[in-house]
């Protein structure tokens, strides 16, 4: 076996730029009217997203050049920083509250969302943890239990914001990483069953979460309340038909569909570009996932294999959850569509994560 350093994976790089370009177009299209009414400029959100994209691309380039092994030395520091962020955001007056949720820290030039950093840190931590266990990952006491404790503490802190969608997403992709690492199904299946059974119990602890579960089955139970958003999303999707109403011609973005530039930007995309446009974006994410898995398959060691798989799953998992929510296949979670939705922290972390995968792609194993 030989390991050679090469150019970063062209396929992953190309699909990243295509998705990013689609995102910039859709951010402008979905916000132009509201931006000019609120800020006097239709380019307000677009300019901010372009700035985030530029900084994110710089971060992606740095991560692409930084040898992935150096992340091992940063794990403890990043874990500590992330833990402090999750605590600080709970201090009254520090965390920025929107719609009853305190998920952001206002930095002036942007609102930083610590839970986005948490996703990256947890993938990094889990990849390192599992890479050191080898066959011990099949043991519950030494391979799974310590990780469950870390996940449990992290989940508890995120739930204080509260951010149930992000917490469940982290549990989901770490569970996939455990399966990929070779954890025994006799441990994973009962844990998954307990997790699924716990979802409705956790939902009942907060009225708004219970309402989300109810309107998931039938949005028309509360069409002007908790079911309003998903109903408007479905109107947008149905209105798009096969080829869409045309770029910029969406009606649902005109104060009908809340969070049309973030959580439900996929609905606006389908309304303007139709089923074909939505299918194209889904195909792009499928291609992204395939390239990420292919990079992981040729990774030179267990750590880089798990890291590439984990970061790919993290991004793809969130993408398909967002699409599932927009199409009423999943309950509302509040997760953005990676590379496409408006949002600084999400875009920065996603591009940096892709940079790490691209760095791993520069090292391949040839037999």
pLDDT in the model for residue 367 = 38
What residues contact 189, with CB distance under 8 A and at least 6 apart?
Answer: none
Coil, strand or helix at 75: helix
Burial of 287 (0-12, 13-18, 19+ CB in 10 A): middle
* % of the chain surpassing 90 pLDDT: 54
CA–CA separation, 11 vs 9, rounded Å?
Answer: 6
Instruction: Please determine, for residue 292, whether its predicted confidence score (pLDDT) is greater than 80.
Output: yes
Contact (Cβ atoms closer than 8 angstroms) between residue 265 and residue 341: yes
pLDDT in tens, 315-350: 999 999 999 999 988 888 778 999 999 988 999 999
Tokens of 152: 């449990």
Residues in the chain: 367
Average pLDDT estimate for 38-50? 92
Better pLDDT: 79 or 94: 79
Contact (Cβ atoms closer than 8 angstroms) between residue 274 and residue 242: yes
Average pLDDT estimate for 190-194? 88
- 37-46, 122-131, 249-258, 263-272: range with lowest mean pLDDT: 249-258
Average pLDDT estimate for 285-294? 96
Give this prediction's pTM: 0.92
Contact (Cβ atoms closer than 8 angstroms) between residue 135 and residue 112: no
What is the pLDDT of the chain when averaged over all its residues? Answer: 88
DSSP-assigned letters across all residues of 236-256:
HHHHHTTT-S-TT--STTTTT
């Amino acid at each position: 076996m030989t390991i050679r350093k090469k150019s970063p994976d062209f396929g992953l790089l190309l699909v990243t730029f295509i998705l990013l370009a689609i995102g910039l177009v859709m951010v402008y299209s979905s916000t132009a009217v509201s931006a000019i009414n609120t800020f006097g400029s239709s380019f307000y959100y677009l300019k901010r997203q372009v700035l985030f994209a530029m900084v994110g691309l710089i971060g992606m380039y740095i991560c692409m050049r930084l040898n992935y092994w150096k992340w091992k030395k940063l794990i403890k520091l990043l874990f500590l920083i992330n833990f402090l962020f999750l605590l600080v955001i709970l201090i009254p007056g520090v965390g920025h509250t929107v719609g009853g949720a305190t998920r952001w820290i206002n930095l002036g030039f942007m609102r930083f969302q610590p839970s986005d950093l948490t996703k990256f840190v947890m993938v990094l931590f889990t990849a390192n943890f599992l890479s050191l266990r080898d066959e011990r990952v099949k043991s519950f006491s030494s391979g799974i239990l310590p990780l469950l404790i870390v996940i449990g503490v992290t989940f508890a802190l995120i739930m204080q914001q509260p951010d149930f969608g992000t917490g469940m997403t982290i549990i989901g992709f770490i569970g996939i990483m455990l399966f990929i690492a070779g954890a025994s199904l006799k441990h994973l299946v009962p844990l998954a069953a307990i997790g699924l059974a716990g979802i409705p119990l956790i939902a009942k602890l907060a009225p708004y979460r219970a309402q989300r579960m109810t309107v998931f089955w039938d949005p028309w139970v509360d069409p002007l309340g908790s079911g309003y958003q998903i109903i408007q999303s479905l109107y947008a999707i149905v209105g798009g038909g096969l080829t869409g109403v045309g770029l910029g011609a969406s009606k649902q973005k005109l104060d009908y569909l809340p969070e049309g530039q973030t959580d439900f930007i996929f609905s606006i995309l389908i309304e303007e570009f139709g089923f074909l446009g939505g299918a194209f974006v889904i195909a792009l994410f499928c291609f992204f996932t395939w390239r990420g898995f292919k990079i992981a398959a040729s990774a030179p060691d267990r750590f880089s294999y798990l890291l590439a798989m984990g970061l790919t799953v993290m991004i793809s998992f969130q993408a398909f959850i967002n699409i599932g929510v927009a199409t009423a296949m999943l309950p509302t979670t509040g997760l953005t569509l990676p590379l496409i939705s408006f949002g600084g922290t999400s875009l920065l972390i996603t591009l940096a994560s892709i940079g790490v995968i691209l760095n791993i792609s520069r090292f391949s194993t040839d037999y």
